[in-house]
Amino acid sequence: MDTITLVIPCYNEEKTIPLLYKEIVKTAKVMPYVQMELLFVDDGSKDGTLQVLRNLRRENHAALEQSADIPRVDYISLSRNFGKESAMYAGVSNAKGDYVAIMDADLQDPPSLLPEMYRAVTEEGYDSVATRRITRKGEPAIRSFFARQFYHVMKKISDVELMDGARDYRLMNRKYVNAFISMTEYNRFSKGLFGWVGFKTKWLEFENVERVAGETKWSFWKLFKYSLDGIVAFSEAPLYIASVLGASMCGVSFIAIIFIIVRQLLYHNSAYGWPSMVCIIILIGGIQLLSIGILGLYFSKTYLEVKKRPIYIASENTLEEELKAE
């Protein structure tokens, strides 16, 4: 029998975890042909998430001794909040299952899609099944607008395939998982990494579901920084824009200098036109600052990358405790 490990990144999700667990137990009942396993990753939560996970695991392991057909629960607790990307990496790289799925804790990724996803990877020959939401119902309009613009721009300036509305919710086979965890970069933008991996991916679509409890951890500012991460990680276009802008400004000012010299030789009125001079100086100064800023962005990412810091640090890992006990 195949095993599916569900990796669930959790940051301040004490309210949603029990609800999610109930749903997954239901889903596991309609999929008796697979062994389901849950691997929660507590991403340095500040509420009672870790305590909820400890209790859930204890109750779950007691129940497992009675019947083996409920999903087994394990968790990893990170030493601080590393961000969802690192939490996903921590979970996926520790997952033992033949298939691994990533799922949000807030039930925005419907567990009811799992049977269909499993069918696609086992019977239809796909290596992974990804999901995207086709509506953004319940989301602030301004957020949807900027999200759409981001996907639009990324499509133009980057080679990797990004889907509008793509979720991180996906089921992957071993081959795909190994490729994903072989990418150990520090600045992770999974939506891009998944596309970069290649292989055969099937896309399932669903209507947006609002989170069952708690609230979103993504502020507008956090999302904005995340989208810059995505652009810097998967596109060199901003560097080209800066170079082209700089080069064309040089060309324009060269022509202007020739024009001024010729005018001086012909009419001898060189004090004329200093306001336009100031404008040009400000413009060129601005372009230089912009270019340096863009360079700095790439440079700072490179700096973090060459340090080769670990992507996450675990303070508690029930899978490892298990190994020690054996």
Sole window of 115-123, 157-165, 213-221, 286-294 interacting with ligand UDP (rule: CB under 6 A): 213-221
| C-beta of residue 297 within 8 angstroms of C-beta of residue 74 | no
Residue 84 CB, shortest distance to ligand UDP, in Å, is 4
108 near Mg ion, rule: CB under 5 A:
yes
In terms of C-beta density within 10 A (0-12 exposed, 13-18 middle, 19 or more buried), how is residue 131 classed? Answer: buried
Binding part of the chain for ligand UDP, among 98-106, 158-166, 198-206, 290-298 by CB under 6 A, reads: 98-106
Residue 87's nearest CA partner among 99, 73, 102 is: 102
The one among 211, 237, 241, 319 contacting ligand UDP by CB under 6 A: 211
When CB distances are held under 5 to 8 angstroms depending on the partner's kind, the choice from ligand UDP, Mg ion, none that residue 81 binds is ligand UDP
38 contact partners, CB below 8 Å, separation of at least 6? 5, 6, 8, 21, 24, 71, 72, 73, 74
CB 75 within 8 A of CB 36: no
Rounded (10°) CA dihedral 214, 217, 220, 224: -160
**Residue 81 sits in the site that holds ligand UDP (CB under 6 A):** yes
Does residue 194 bind ligand UDP (CB under 6 A)? no
Binding partner of residue 37 among Mg ion, ligand UDP, none, CB cut-off 5 to 8 Å per kind: none
Q: Which of 106, 109, 127, 168 binds Mg ion (CB under 5 A)?
A: 106
Which entry of ligand UDP, Mg ion, none binds 13, CB below 5 to 8 A by partner kind?
Answer: ligand UDP
Place of tokens 């999903």: 71
**In the block, which residue shows the tokens 């990724």?**
109
d(CA 22, CA 40): 14
12 near Mg ion (CB under 5 A) = no
Site size for ligand UDP, by CB under 6 A? Answer: 17
- Rounded Cα distance between 81 and 78, Å, is 7
Region binding ligand UDP by CB under 6 A among candidate stretches 67-75, 170-178, 214-222, 244-252: 214-222
Rounded to the nearest whole angstrom, what is the least distance from the CB of residue 296 to ligand UDP in the complex? Answer: 25
List, in order, residues 6 or more apart from 26 with CB less than 8 Å away. Answer: 111
Residues 73 and 34: their CA atoms lie apart, in Å, by 15
The distance of closest approach from Cβ of residue 10 to Mg ion in the complex, given in angstroms and rounded to an integer, is 11
- The set of residues, in sequence order, having a beta carbon less than 8 Å from that of 235 and lying 6+ positions away, is 154, 157, 158, 159
Return the DSSP state at 124. Answer: S
Binding to ligand UDP by residue 206, rule CB under 6 A?
A: no
Site string for ligand UDP, 11-30 (x = CB under 6 A): x-x-----------------
CB of 71 vs ligand UDP, minimal distance in Å: 17
Tell which positions 177-216 bind Mg ion, by CB under 5 A. Answer: 211
Where do the DSSP E strands lie in the chain? 2-10, 34-42, 72-78, 99-102, 128-133, 166-173, 201-206, 314-317
Rounded CA gap, 320 and 326, in Å?
Answer: 10
Is residue 202 at the binding interface for ligand UDP, with CB under 6 A as the rule? Answer: no
Q: Could you say which of 217, 239, 263, 297 contacts ligand UDP (CB under 6 A)?
A: 217
Nearer to ligand UDP (CB atom), residue 200 or residue 211? 211
Residue with Cβ nearer ligand UDP (55 or 276)? 55
Closest contact distance (angstroms) between CB of 118 and ligand UDP is 21
Binding residues for ligand UDP (CB under 6 A): 9-11, 13, 43, 81, 83-84, 87, 104-106, 108, 211, 216-218
Binding residues for Mg ion (CB under 5 A): 106, 108, 211
